[in-house]
Structure 1
Amino acid sequence: MKQEQAWYLLPDEAHIETPSLIFYEERLKANINLLKSMIDCVERLRPHVKTYKCREITRLLISAGIKKFKCATIAEAEMLAMDKAPDVLLAYQPVAENINRFFKLKSKYPDTVFSCLVDHLKIAEQLSAMAIEEQTEVDVYIDLNVGMNRTGILPEQAFALIESLQRFISLKVKGLHAYDGHIHDGAIEVRKEKSAVVIKQLSDLREKLEAYLGNDINIVAGGTPTFPIYASQTDFECSPGTFILWDKGYQDAYAEQPFYPAALVASRVVSLPDDGWICTDLGHKAVAAEKELKNRVFFINAPFLEVQSQSEEHLVLRNNTPETYLPGDMLYGLPYHVCPTVALHEKAICLKVDQSLEYWEVISRKRKISI
């Protein structure tokens, strides 16, 4: 990484609109290379695209040899297919109209193999009926609840569901999916201990299913916090997402994963309402606001500013240092939670490796692209 000047500074700063989302291409590429170095085979990588939501980063991942992806919405799946991502797992059980949209994806983008999650027989029946009508087949992964208590079925219930699915000749059980977002402890040893329980559950179930089905069963598991554990201790496909952009929350929590912050929010001072008080244009609409005030954004070029309040269009800060700020001064903020922050922006300004600037559309922040 270049160290000649602060990495985050943008050329022609005076003409940068704020608030804006900024991507840094050199750091994006460095994070992809670091991810690949942490696993024995690139074929085991299935990154989750919910973090970045734009085609240009998809192209960087594909050009790096990554061919499998995971997503959470139909729009994210379509975004991937627009660049002919070979293998896309919709990590969501489609229901109602989204079943129709899923089949429209399959029809419109034949160069991409789509699969989805299933955890209920009713949905399996609906998928099967639509597959027969469309004269196609559907690859499905059984979604398991391994402790997150959000979606999926308990591992001990999976065998009975898969037995029931055998009557649907249009459905093909490709594997098991398990998201372990409840394992997010700071200490890696604690995460290892908790992950060991999940690893055993998944491995035991896979062995039983392979004996029953007579074919290999794939396992897609984990997110960023447990990625290094599954990468080194299993043969599972791994689905980190935040790695590509990184954020303050994960930077503070997971020191064993030295990814580079590659996305910032640019903000400007817009008013000085009183001595030591600064108002910027970084409101709820520009940075994720689900965390407590002090854990929403960290200004890397003004680390001692203290957040006092935030509204839709404004962020008020307290300056307890001798440093002075004037209206128009630029602040570069590292979000604590980058995924929902990205979804607040229609476009990102990308600082390219050659120091030029491009606008990248955050295309799958939308609920619908064309389908």
Structure 2
Amino acid sequence: MQPLDTWYRIRNESDVDSPALLVFPDRIQQNIVLLKSMIDDPRRLRPHVKTHKTKELTRLQLEAGISRFKCATVAEAVMLGECEAPDVLMAYPLYGPKLSRFVSLTKRFPKTNFSAIVDHPDAARALADAAMQAGVIIDVFVDLNIGMGRTGIQPGAAAMALYQQCGQSEGLAIQGFHAYDGQVHERDIEKRKVICTQNFEQVKRMAEQVQAAGFAKPRIVIGGSPSFPIYATYPDVECSPGTFILWDKGYADGLPDQPFLPAAVLLTRIVSMPAANRLCVDLGHKAVAAENPLERRVYFLNAPDLKPISQSEEHLVLEAPVGHAWKTGDVLYGLPQHICPTVALYDSLTVVEHGAYAGRWTVASRNRS
């Protein structure tokens, strides 16, 4: 076993039930400072709140001068409105009850300017109708598909027609383009730069076309965490990293050019020893994101030689080296491979200050309703 007198270890771990997701505000603050140092103007930052879903972390960013945010759920938009975030982009298609719920936020939170994305003429018409019925005007961005293949309209004539439709629709105020390139994961930043340059060219051409058609210069919201350092060097572009605030094992390994600090750690306990070289901990599917292969779900900081061999809803079974000294009740500290869906598994985050458990932050927008 490694010594436990390291940054993630808490003195009063016996007071913390497991599994728990620990967060470290001092490291979070350092990550916010680093983020701001990577761009010329914090007004070009539009961080995504899906990573943390909490008011406390939103307020830390507001206090740091970050005023624009992006979200994926109405619950996240509500959380941002309750924090009086000045500018919120709902970067998710709005259909069904989500549409009316979103439009109602413009009156419920008058200090927040809410905007939406559209990628289809029907979506634009539905949003315009809902806005007119509510007597409001909704800022809107046309969502471009630049390779992710998930949402968005292909750049070209259809995207131009949609932009013009939004510009002519009562109830809508066309703002520009939104584009997400989540398919970009190259570890080598030089390779990432090449791909991002190609992706941005598609958006740039659309921006030139709409200006030639008489529209004002469009705002461009683009990218995520991997592409953030590249787009941060582009003038006027709004960048949308999200994971930076808590970071995780996946990005720490995959993005060595971004020296953010891991600021969220899983605390779990050995609850059984079914064999001499088998340990069972209380870190099942309900406690850590399980979309990655078993061996890439969690990395134990104080036990890197433990090997996951099976996982179920409430249990994770680990293989230990021969002659290990672990015993039931011992605490393990693990970095999640993917922090965003891991946060969504917890009602609250366990706050660690000065090396000790100090309280809890509610994951306010985990509840979608």
TM, length-normalised to structure 2:
0.96
Q: Which runs of 5+ in 1 are unaligned?
A: none
Displacement of 1:129 in angstroms is 1.5
> Which whole-Å CA distance do the structure 2 matches of 1:95 and 1:149 have between them?
19
Per the alignment, residue 189 of structure 1 pairs with 190
3-state SS, counterpart of residue 232 of structure 1: coil
CA deviation profile, 1:297-321 (whole Å, cap 9, x unmatched): 0000111100110010000001115
Displacement of 1:234 in angstroms is 4.2
Q: Which segments of structure 1 move beyond 2 Å, counting only runs of 4 or more? A: 164-167, 210-214, 352-356
Displacement of 1:93 in angstroms is 1.7
Displacement of 1:165 in angstroms is 2.5
Task: Say what the alpha-carbon RMSD is for the aligned residues.
Answer: 1.4
CA deviation profile, 1:148-207 (whole Å, cap 9, x unmatched): 000010111311111223331221111100000111111111111111111111122112
CA deviation profile, 1:197-229 (whole Å, cap 9, x unmatched): 111111221122123244221000000000001
Contact 1:191–1:226 at 8 Å: present in 2 too?
Answer: yes
Displacement of 1:272 in angstroms is 0.8
Question: How many percent identity over aligned positions?
Answer: 48
Displacement of 1:104 in angstroms is 1.5
* 1:198-213 mapped onto 2 (5 Å cutoff): 198-213=199-214
Contact 1:67–1:86 at 8 Å: present in 2 too?
Answer: yes
Per the alignment, residue 145 of structure 1 pairs with 145
Corresponding residue pairs, total: 365
- Whichever residue aligns with residue 221 of structure 2, its letter is V
Q: Once structures 1 and 2 are overlaid, which stretch shifts more, 228-237 or 311-320?
A: 228-237
1:256 aligns with 2:257: yes
- Whichever residue aligns with residue 291 of structure 1, its letter is N
Contact 1:46–1:238 at 8 Å: present in 2 too?
Answer: yes
1:347 aligns with 2:324: no
Per the alignment, residue 39 of structure 2 pairs with 39
- Whichever residue aligns with residue 228 of structure 1, its letter is P
* 1:84-123 mapped onto 2 (5 Å cutoff): 84-123=84-123
CA deviation profile, 1:240-264 (whole Å, cap 9, x unmatched): 0111111101100110000000001
> Which whole-Å CA distance do the structure 1 matches of 2:290 and 2:357 have between them?
31
- Whichever residue aligns with residue 19 of structure 1, its letter is P
1:216 aligns with 2:217: yes
Displacement of 1:353 in angstroms is 5.2
Contact 2:23–2:349 at 8 Å: present in 1 too?
Answer: yes
- Whichever residue aligns with residue 37 of structure 1, its letter is S
Contact 2:49–2:76 at 8 Å: present in 1 too?
Answer: yes
Displacement of 1:53 in angstroms is 0.7
Per the alignment, residue 15 of structure 2 pairs with 15
1:293 aligns with 2:294: yes
- Whichever residue aligns with residue 338 of structure 2, its letter is H
3-state SS, counterpart of residue 225 of structure 1: coil
- Whichever residue aligns with residue 12 of structure 1, its letter is N
> Which whole-Å CA distance do the structure 2 matches of 1:293 and 1:5 have between them?
28
Contact 1:276–1:319 at 8 Å: present in 2 too?
Answer: yes
Contact 1:304–1:321 at 8 Å: present in 2 too?
Answer: no
> Which whole-Å CA distance do the structure 1 matches of 2:285 and 2:235 have between them?
40
3-state SS, counterpart of residue 32 of structure 2: helix
Contact 2:104–2:134 at 8 Å: present in 1 too?
Answer: no
Per the alignment, residue 165 of structure 1 pairs with 166
CA deviation profile, 1:133-154 (whole Å, cap 9, x unmatched): 2211010010000000000101
> Which whole-Å CA distance do the structure 2 matches of 1:166 and 1:260 have between them?
43
Contact 1:25–1:353 at 8 Å: present in 2 too?
Answer: no
> Which whole-Å CA distance do the structure 1 matches of 2:59 and 2:312 have between them?
36
CA deviation profile, 1:305-355 (whole Å, cap 9, x unmatched): 001100100000011154311111110010001110000000110113585
Q: Once structures 1 and 2 are overlaid, which stretch shifts more, 157-166 or 358-367?
A: 157-166
* 1:45-64 mapped onto 2 (5 Å cutoff): 45-64=45-64
Contact 1:185–1:191 at 8 Å: present in 2 too?
Answer: yes
* 1:311-350 mapped onto 2 (5 Å cutoff): 311-320=312-321, 322-350=323-351
> Which whole-Å CA distance do the structure 1 matches of 2:62 and 2:34 have between them?
15
Contact 2:10–2:357 at 8 Å: present in 1 too?
Answer: no
CA deviation profile, 1:80-121 (whole Å, cap 9, x unmatched): 111100000000121121111011111111110000101111
Q: Which runs of 5+ in 2 are unaligned?
A: none
